[in-house]
A = this chain, B = another copy of it.
Amino acid sequence: MNKNVLAVGIDIGGTNTVFGLVDYLGNCVSHDSIKTSHFELVEDFVDAVCLKLTKLIADQADAEIIGVGIGAPNGNYFSGNIEFAPNLNWKGIIPLSRLFEEQLNIPTTLTNDANAAALGERIYGAAKGVDNFVMVTLGTGLGSGFVVNGDLVYGHDGFAGELGHTIVEKNGRLCGCGRRGCLETYVSATGIVKSAKEFLKKSSNSSLSDLQFITSKSISDAAIAGDKLALEIFDFTAEKLGLSLANTIAISSPKLIVLFGGLAQSGDLLIKPTKKYLEEYVLSIYKNKIEIVSSKLNASDAAILGASALAWKH
């Protein structure tokens, strides 16, 4: 066998698209990126990515490319389409897998970004060899991927795994999806900023009250510095996540929950209180059985690794 077997991983975000070549050990041997939001037409976007990708491939002597894996918002594994993604320029149903296959002539597999992240953790990261786990990605929103009996849960239509859109507060905060009280309105970079603003209305006794703009990063920084209000905001966030995970556990009884993304990087700041609330809320048969860990993947490569994992898995 040719030793230089590689998979292509492409992670499409609303702002940036990153892509690269990954070996079976999870080393990202080369990578590049473009601005997703610059392309009004998806065909121009695919052309631009393929042009750069072809160069990356040509740079690898004797490389055999085993497949292309793409993680994208609202990516459907079964159809290979991006379907009605609110944060992309390309509206409606976009046959993304087919567009890449036609240009590259390499088998291409698509799923949503959180599912790709779950595969990345399973093949290269914190969930190596774990057949039942839940991946939670904390970015602008909250994404999730469920692995059951060793396989990703796609559901009957390819859209399973929307933990961010389970309702945790009836008549709670308005969500981008049009409903109220979704988990991601509380537990995400935007959710925690909303919480901070609510908390600051009641108390200005915090270093956060001096800031012109509050970000999830500034809340983390304040909490690390011991700011009491910032710690309360993390506790509030963790309570929502802990309850939601306790309910999730009662459904799929995972061995492990992996957190990924900006908020998860704050490590113990979020994980410790989340674990406390999870244990408080969870049914006794699951108590002290489930680990919560943050992603073991290098943050800058993780998105590419996750997408490439789809090609290896496929």
Q: How far is the CA of A56 from the CA of B267 in the complex (A)?
A: 60
Q: A314: shortest Cβ distance to chain B, in Å?
A: 15
Q: How far is the CA of A158 from the CA of B131 in the complex (A)?
A: 13
Stretch in contact with the other chain, from A18-26, A63-71, A145-153, A208-216: A145-153
Residue pair A255, B166 in contact (C-beta under 8 Å):
no
Residue pair B156, A131 in contact (C-beta under 8 Å):
yes
A167 CB contact (under 8 Å) in B132, B148, B281:
B281
Stretch in contact with the other chain, from A28-36, A41-49, A89-97, A240-248: A240-248
Q: What would be 22 A-B contacts, judged by CB atoms less than 8 Å apart?
A: A83-B285, A131-B156, A146-B252, A149-B149, A149-B153, A149-B154, A153-B252, A153-B253, A155-B252, A156-B254, A159-B285, A160-B251, A160-B252, A161-B251, A165-B283, A166-B247, A166-B251, A177-B283, A177-B284, A179-B283, A251-B251, A252-B252
Q: A242: shortest Cβ distance to chain B, in Å?
A: 11
Copies of this chain per assembly? 2
Q: Which residues of B contact A162 (CB under 8 A)?
A: 250-251, 283, 285
Residue pair A163, B131 in contact (C-beta under 8 Å):
no
Q: Is the interface of A mostly helix, strand, loop or mixed?
A: loop
Contact status of A154 and B247, CB under 8 A, knowing A149-B148, A177-B283: no
Contact status of A155 and B253, CB under 8 A, knowing A149-B148, A149-B149: yes
Residue pair B250, A163 in contact (C-beta under 8 Å):
yes
Q: A85: shortest Cβ distance to chain B, in Å?
A: 11
Query: Hey, what's the 0/1 contact readout for A180-224 against B, CB within 8 Å counting as 1?
Result: 000000000000000000000000000000000000000000000
